[in-house]
Structures are given as structure tokens and as C-alpha cells.
Amino acid sequence: MTTIRAAISQTTWTGDKESMLDKHEQFMRDAAAQGAQVICFQELFYGPYFGITQDKKYYRYAEPADGPIVQRFAALAKELNMVTILPIYEEEQTGVYYNTAVVVDADGTVVGKYRKHHIPHLESFYEKFYFRPGNLGYPVFDTAVGKVGVHICYDRHFPEGWRELGLNGAQIVFNPNASKPGLSNRLWELEGPAAAGANQYFVLVPNRVGKEDNEYGDLAVDFYGTSYVVDPRGNYVGELGSSEHEELLVRDLDLDAIRDTRDDWQFYRDRRPDAYGEIVAP
């Protein structure tokens, strides 16, 4: 079986964690009913996007990578036989927090985690207040649907990470987001397709959608949704998600397209790491 069915979701903050957890459980059940074998949620999926402000109360959304939320969704992954990518707020120890995605295999086993490397700190994205930079490299996880990697939101602006994932064998890379209109508009259109085409794997990009004014009032930003899936040639697979409404996108991914694309475009053969020293210079 070389074609797998993948799902990504986009939604708006409801106002409380429990209803967000219930909503994402329903996303998984709806995806399973449509035959999906893997799903990824948006960045920090069970809370508001708290980078809008710098407030210590949001530290309480953090929990261990083997905590109650991951345990709940790992059990659901096993029930539904679905690989699940869980973008959480991770507490490694008191006062040490990461923006993390936990990868759960279809049998409910936690196969590993990725920690966001690149941490922005600018208006409405005050993430250095909440997160340490990731320190686990760019792991690729063997799962029931193939080799899976993760790149979280702001990471997408840095092509080196995308290439690391390709070199590590990724076939499918998930890029959960909390992105809003502004400087990133054009980059949103370019970066996922460019990464998929340059590295010749599938890229799936779930984003938040709507305004979280129920949490932040006049400070709230309007997340633009438009989640999407891209094939190894940089083409969209199906339509983009809504720019206004909650949505579950389900798409078929033909993994044979990776080999076909790499046979046509020998980027991995022709790369010249001996000539790229300045890229990794401190």
C-alpha cells in the first residue's frame, strides 16, 4: 500500500481547554470515519495562541510529554488505528517549557517528539517568554504510514530544517501553525510548496483560523486558516482550507510520488554539502 489518507484540522479557540480537547477528539473520529490513517492538529492545539501577550498564567497550559493529554489521545489513536501528531505545550520540568509535537503511532505507542527550534519574539508572537529553543534535532519517526517529520510554525522560515528532515528520510512532514495576516502572507503561499518541491516529500500545513477575541479582546489577531497539503513536486493536493471557518481536510498521499519525483529531479544526488560551510558557521 503506497497511498495513505491523511487529515489536518483547523479551528478557533473555544474559550476553554476541555471543549478544545473534545473538539479535537471529534476531529479524529470524523477523520477515521473518512478513512484517514494519520492526523495532525494545529500548533498548541488545546489552548489559545498565548504568544499574543506575555502572561505567566499561560504556563499552566504546559504538561509533560507523557501527561494526561498525550495519554488521552494516544488511547484514541490506538482505538482508531491512526497515527497522531499532537502539538502541545511541554513542561520538561518546572520552569522549563517547549513548543513540542508528540508523535503517536497507530497502535497508541508514543514514538517520539520534536521541539520547535526557532522561537520568534515580536509583536503578537512573544514566544521567547514561553518556550526554550528545541534541542532534539530533526528526528524522523517510523510510523504505520511511513517516515514522519515535524517542523513547527516559525520553523518554516528556515530552509535548513526542511533539508535536515529530508536527509533523515522523511516522507511526510507536518508543519502545525498559528499564523496571521501581515508580513507572512506571501511566505504562507510560498514556503510549504517550496519546501515540498526542494526536498521532494509531502508537506501538510494545519493552521488556526479566526479571531480569539474571546481571550484577548482588542489584542486578538485573525488567524487566516487556509490549511493545505502539498505533494513532492510542490503542487497542492486538493483545495486549501477555509480562511474563515473550522475545517477538517482529508487528502490521499501517493508515497510513490516521492521516488518518481526524485528520479526526475536528482536534487539529493547533486547537492554539494562540501560547498555549504557558511550555512552552519556560528
Catalytic residue positions?
43, 116, 153
Q: How far apart are CA 221 and CA 200, in angstroms?
A: 33
Say what angle helices 159-167 and 185-199 make with each other, to 10 degrees. Answer: 30
Q: CA nearest 38: which of 49, 47, 52, 27? A: 27
Q: How far apart are CA 37 and CA 252, in angstroms?
A: 10
Q: Which grid cell sits at 181?
A: 495576516
Number of helices (H), then strands (E), belonging to the chain: the values are 7, 15
Q: CA nearest 5: which of 251, 281, 218, 279? A: 251
For the beta carbon of residue 252, count every other beta carbon within 10 angstroms.
Answer: 13
Q: Which residues, at least 6 apart from 188, have a Cβ–Cβ distance to it below 8 Å?
A: 179, 224, 226
Phi-psi label, residue 226: left if phi above 0, alpha if psi -120 to 50, beta otherwise: left
Q: Which residues, at least 6 apart from 99, have a Cβ–Cβ distance to it below 8 Å?
A: 43, 44, 87, 89, 90, 115, 116, 119, 127, 130, 131, 134, 152, 153
Contact 80, 29 (CB under 8 A): yes
Q: How far apart are CA 223 and CA 230, in angstroms?
A: 20
